[in-house]
Structures are given as structure tokens and as C-alpha cells.
């Protein structure tokens, strides 16, 4: 499948890598719908997409809410005249140690169930709901081919302070594999991308000395760029013999 002429839905397209994917896909000739929860982010992405070869349409939706995802898929389908690519990009962090003893009081703090559930809801349940509805829509309309791309993370190997995030991102890899087996009969491929440290607002907000320490372990000695992650998105869309696998784009970093 070529990017040019494809019809794509990107979740979390109001900022960061999601905005990069949305605009670069539209710049390459795809019509792109995206969703986000941030009104300003939605408006900014739409404004940035004006004049690109492909159209850019934004929706407000929470990927963790089933009814909103069902509506999102239907609205995006109607707005673009169909869909054939889904990019599960929306994600959040709620970092914290599983347990931590307070040195002053001796009390043991615990990672809250609320923080666990918030991340699982957005980062794992969200892609499940979006992929389910996307695949069902394609099958109901006998439309093929289709591609589902899920953005995982190097943290899927297990990263300190990220019990919830690591679990969600590891789950995406497992789902990508099994979805490839279940959906191949309908002409739908799947793929995942596991970025390392990428130059997005999250990294840009770090203190210089902290960022330097983070990047010290990267063999290439720098953060990746959103454009470099987009190249992996483009590869998965256009390589018709790729399915069920994860591309690590992490500068060689090993956690």
C-alpha cells in the first residue's frame, strides 16, 4: 500500500509524534483524520495541515472510552470516505516506583491503582478499542487492504518507575503479533514501533544535566527525531510483506 492516496486515522495527533505523523502523512498525499483531547492541540494541527496535498481533519475523542472510539471510527470513516490505516499513537505517562520507603517517616508509599489504571486505559485499552472498531469497519465494508500500526516503547522491556507504562507497551507488542494472525485473512496487516528517547516536548522539558544523563546510554549519543519514527510508520504502511513484528528505533539503546 502506498502512503499517497491512503486514508489514515492517527490517535493522539494534537502534539508530539502524533502531530508529526499526521502532517507528514498528509504531506505525502494521504488524507488524515486524527483525534486528541486538547482543543488547542487539535486546532494547531489542523492549521499546520492547511495547504498540504492530503486533507487533515481533527476530532476530539478519548481513546479510553468505548463509545467515543466507536463514534470516532465512524466519523473518520465518513469524513474521509473510508479508512485503510490506523496509527495507535495516543499515550500517557503516570510514572512512579511500585513501592518506596520514605526516608524521613519510614512509611511505604505505593504506586496507586489510579495511576496504574489511567495508563492501562489509554495506552493499552485505547489501541484495543481502536483496532477492534477499525478492523470491524473494514470487514463489514469488505474494504482491503488495511494496516494497523501501534506505537510501543523501548520501555516494554521494563523501565524503572514505569510499571504501568512498561506493562501497557509490552502488551501492545503481544497484541500486534496475535492480531496479525487473526486479521491476515481479512487483508489487514499489523505492526508496532518501539521508539527510544525521541526529541519531543517531554524530552525538551528536562533539565539539561538530566537529559545528558538519559542520552549517555544511547550508542548513537543523541535523541531520535519524530521524523525518524515517521520513517518506520511509512515503511510498515508501504511494505506489504511486513506484519506482526515490532521495529525498534532507539539508537541502539538497551534498557
Active site residue 186: no
Q: pLDDT tens digits, residue range 39-82?
A: 999 999 999 999 999 999 999 999 999 999 999 999 999 999 99
pTM listed for this prediction: 0.94
Q: pLDDT tens digits, residue range 157-191?
A: 988 889 999 999 999 999 999 999 999 999 999 99
pLDDT on residue 200: 82
Looking at the DSSP bridge assignments, the partners of residue 11 are 35
First-to-last C-alpha distance (Å) of the chain: 34
Q: pLDDT tens digits, residue range 198-252?
A: 988 777 777 788 788 878 889 999 999 999 999 999 999 999 999 999 999 999 9
Domains and CATH numbers, the chain: 7-249 (3.40.50.720)
| C-alpha to C-alpha distance for 92 and 169, rounded to whole angstroms | 11
- Among candidate residues 34, 116, 134, 165, the one labeled active-site is 165
* Residue 119 banded pLDDT, cuts 50, 70, 90: very high
Amino acid at each position: 500500500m502506498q502512503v499517497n492516496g491512503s486514508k489514515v486515522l492517527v490517535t493522539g495527533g494534537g502534539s508530539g509524534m502524533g502531530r508529526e505523523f499526521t502532517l507528514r502523512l498528509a504531506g505525502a498525499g494521504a488524507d488524515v483524520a486524527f483525534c486528541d483531547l486538547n482543543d488547542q492541540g487539535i486546532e494547531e494541527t489542523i492549521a499546520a495541515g492547511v495547504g498540504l496535498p492530503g486533507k487533515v481533519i481533527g476530532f476530539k475523542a478519548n481513546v479510553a472510552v468505548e463509545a467515543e472510539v466507536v463514534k470516532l471510527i465512524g466519523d473518520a470513516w465518513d469524513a474521509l470516505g473510508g479508512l485503510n490505516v490506523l496509527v495507535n499513537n495516543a499515550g500517557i505517562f503516570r510514572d512512579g516506583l511500585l513501592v518506596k520507603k520514605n526516608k524521613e517517616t519510614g512509611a511505604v508509599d505505593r504506586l496507586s491503582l489510579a495511576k496504574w489504571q489511567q495508563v492501562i486505559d489509554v495506552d493499552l485499552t485505547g489501541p484495543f478499542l481502536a483496532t477492534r472498531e477499525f478492523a470491524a469497519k473494514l470487514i463489514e465494508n469488505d474494504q482491503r487492504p488495511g494496516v494497523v500500526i501501534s506505537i510501543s516503547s523501548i520501555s516494554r522491556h521494563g523501565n524503572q518507575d514505569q510499571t504501568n507504562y512498561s506493562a501497557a507497551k509490552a502488551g501492545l507488542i503481544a497484541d500486534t503479533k496475535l492480531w496479525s494472525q487473526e486479521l491476515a485473512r481479512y487483508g489487514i496487516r499489523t505492526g508496532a514501533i518501539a521508539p527510544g528517547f525521541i526529541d519531543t516536548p517531554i524530552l525538551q522539558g528536562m533539565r539539561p544535566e538530566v537529559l545528558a544523563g538519559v542520552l549517555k546510554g544511547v550508542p548513537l549519543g543523541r535523541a531520535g527525531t519524530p521524523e525518524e519514527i515517521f520513517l518506520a510508520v511509512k515503511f510498515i504502511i508501504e511494505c506489504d510483506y511486513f506484519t506482526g513484528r515490532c521495529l525498534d528505533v532507539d539508537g541502539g539503546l538497551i534498557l
